[in-house]
Amino acid sequence: MLLRRLPSTAVSLATAALSRRSTSYLLSSQRRLQSFNSISFYPTLSFRSFCSTSEISPEFTDLITDQSSKRGPLKPGLYLVGTPIGNLEDITLRALRVLKSADVILSEDTRHSGKLLHYYNIKTPLLSYHKYNESQREHKVLKRLKQGEIVALISDAGMPGISDPGTELAKICVDENIPVIPIPGPSAFLTALSASGLSTDEFTFVGFLPKHAGSRKERLIASASETTTQIFYVPPHKLGQFLEESSLIFGDSRQCVIARELTKIHEEFWRGTLGTAKEAFSTRQPKGEITLLIEGNSNSSVETPSESQLENDLRELISNGHSLSSAVKLVAEGTSMKKKTIYSLALRKFVKKTKADDSD
């Protein structure tokens, strides 16, 4: 896979070098395979394992199985396996070993995951496991785990349980004293954060915002006041809505990074202010998964909102079903004003009004 990215001259030189050295490597391959972590086994693999874009050489996965036997069998339990977020090369050797050794692989989308397994010549059976059937699957999976099976759980991309199915099953296994073993792998929000240029000292991963408009606003208000980098997952068809709503709450001047199609051919990092982003994406809807990062609030003093702004925010939250005290708390979190001051305003504007309405 590495050689296909080199210029043609480099490829021919590398191929020649492999040919001259292949005999000596093959003679000493048994000794060199003693350590799975050593890279000395690569020359013994078929050349197509590096160049094929459709499937890895079976010799590669056979080698993993061979080395697994030397390390001893995997212990029974639930394995949460991180998988590539776009580029199939971004998978660990340990993840491949677990997927090949498992009795069953729970998969968010069996068709999608089937491509990954086919690429690495892994024949382990797949069982669908997603948000629409996880409650029905839990009993069956739990039974298999109690019988001592090795169950691997993967999502469509990244780590299971992070904005993906897996959290509830992991909780149940912990309660039942069944081992839960994480197999670290790629993560979209960490990948985006590392290359964003925003602060990485502290950050808040929010994930997907709620569908309900009132709940979205509550979450954005809370995020806008935080000094840490805020990280969101945004569906491409909702990017315009997100930028419109967030710019009103965070302000047009807040810096943001829109990371799209991470690790894929069309990977893109767009950087600028929320206001500029709103204009830039008003006429174009990008494709692919989006991780959107917003810089933390660097102002030590937040601009004091007017009384009418506070009243409008309180009214919207109360109309969406929040109690008076809950609405006051949420508004206070997004401003520099004291909660007591906002509560007094709420009593004056809404409690008296409610009593007047009742008397009518």
Record: fold of 59-186: Cobalt-precorrin-4 Transmethylase; domain 1 (3.40.1010)
185: DSSP letter: -
Lowest-pLDDT range of 47-56, 228-237, 264-273: 47-56
- Do 155 and 166 touch, CB atoms closer than 8 A? yes
Check residue 184 and give left, alpha or beta (phi > 0: left; psi -120 to 50: alpha).
Answer: beta
> Which three-class secondary structure state does DSSP give residue 61?
helix
pLDDT for res 28: 44
- Once rounded to an integer, what is the mean pLDDT over residues 310-337? 85
Two structure tokens written together for 337: 């004003």
C-beta atoms surrounding 181 within 10 Å: 15
Q: What is the spatial distance between Cα 220 and Cα 247, in angstroms, rounded to a whole number? A: 10
How many residues does the structure list for the chain? 360
Over the stretch 132-191, which tens digit does the pLDDT of each residue have? 888 888 889 999 999 999 999 999 999 999 988 889 999 999 999 999 999 999 999 999
Checking if the pLDDT of 110 tops 60, the result is: yes
Reported as a pLDDT band with limits 50, 70 and 90, residue 45 is very low
Checking if the pLDDT of 84 tops 70, the result is: yes
Note the pTM of the prediction, 2 decimals. 0.68
Beta bridge mates, 180: 78
Checking if the pLDDT of 8 tops 90, the result is: no
Two structure tokens written together for 213: 């408009």
276: DSSP letter: H
Reported as a pLDDT band with limits 50, 70 and 90, residue 100 is very high
pLDDT for res 332: 83
Domain spans in the chain, listed from the N-terminal domain onward: 59-186, 189-294, 307-355
Q: To the nearest whole number, what is the mean pLDDT of the chain?
A: 82
- Do 335 and 309 touch, CB atoms closer than 8 A? no
Reported as a pLDDT band with limits 50, 70 and 90, residue 64 is low
> Which three-class secondary structure state does DSSP give residue 232?
strand
Helix (H) or strand (E) holding 315: helix 307-319
Compute the radius of gyration of the chain from its Cα atoms.
26
pLDDT for res 306: 83
Checking if the pLDDT of 66 tops 70, the result is: no
The C-alpha angle 312, 231, 259, rounded to 5 degrees, equals: 120
Checking if the pLDDT of 14 tops 80, the result is: no
Record: fold of 189-294: 3.30.950
- List Cβ neighbours of 359 (8 Å cut-off, separation of 6 or more): none
Tell me what percent of the residues of the chain surpass a pLDDT of 70.
76
